Structure 1
């Protein structure tokens, strides 16, 4: 992994100061069921107090697999994932919005920062109105 230069705005010193809450991450079941290594992970805004926001994948998940998060992702203590794959210990210190990937065949370290991946966000249908009569009719 390339070490950032001290004058670089993307330095660990500037990107790891977020308050640390939670202890769980969501991990693809392919990591455990098929014994595949972690090759892609990102940190989103945590969903609840026990959540760190980290989402970890093998890189082989399909769109259909990812669409069924309840079945195919499992909460795992972040500390356990760091024990399973010590190469992520320094990476999981980074703040929400951080994305990392590892090229297959370079499992010893090889993590690279990704800057062009858009982290998925939950889709919420919300209707907004400034009309009190419409609002009261929907209540």
Structure 2
């Protein structure tokens, strides 16, 4: 059976109809400390109820800078970011998986299709060895 959506063209409406949650974006402190505009942004799956999933950068961040997210990224209301830069207003309506960039000196945003959005790495050790859990069957109540 063929899915009814297979033949439908991708439209802005189909890319902006995701359930909207949260109100915060994580924004590089360089945007504020260096007073440079957001030039690269993507939407990932939100990490908590207040998170929209948007991550915004100026484009000058190094790998080391990005690795220290707690120190170098700040939660900012998306509404405030749109007030500071009205060109973000339409873009922040897009669904998770969306990536945008603009070159220095340009106001025009372009869609990026070849960027792999980073995902949090979780160290999980899966085992079927019950003895590794140190379970005492007599103390399970």
TM value normalised by structure 1? 0.88
Counterpart CA distance in 1 for 2:26 and 2:85 is: 15
* Aligned residues: CA RMSD: 1.3
Per-residue CA deviations over 1:54-103 (Å, capped at 9, x if unaligned) read: 00000110001101111110000000000001001110000001000001
Counterpart CA distance in 2 for 1:8 and 1:31 is: 36
Aligned counterpart, 1:4? none
Question: What 5-or-longer segments of structure 1 have no aligned partner?
Answer: 1-6
SS at match of 1:55: strand
> 1:109-124 residue pairs with structure 2 within 5 A?
110-124=108-122
SS at match of 2:87: helix
Counterpart CA distance in 1 for 2:95 and 2:65 is: 26
Aligned counterpart, 1:128? 126
Counterpart CA distance in 1 for 2:40 and 2:46 is: 18
Counterpart CA distance in 1 for 2:117 and 2:70 is: 18
Counterpart CA distance in 2 for 1:81 and 1:93 is: 13
Question: What 5-or-longer segments of structure 2 have no aligned partner?
Answer: 1-7, 136-141
Aligned counterpart, 1:55? 55
Counterpart CA distance in 1 for 2:39 and 2:99 is: 11
Are 1:102 and 2:102 matched, yes or no? yes
Are 1:21 and 2:18 matched, yes or no? no
Q: Which has the larger radius of gyration?
A: 2
Counterpart CA distance in 2 for 1:137 and 1:127 is: 15
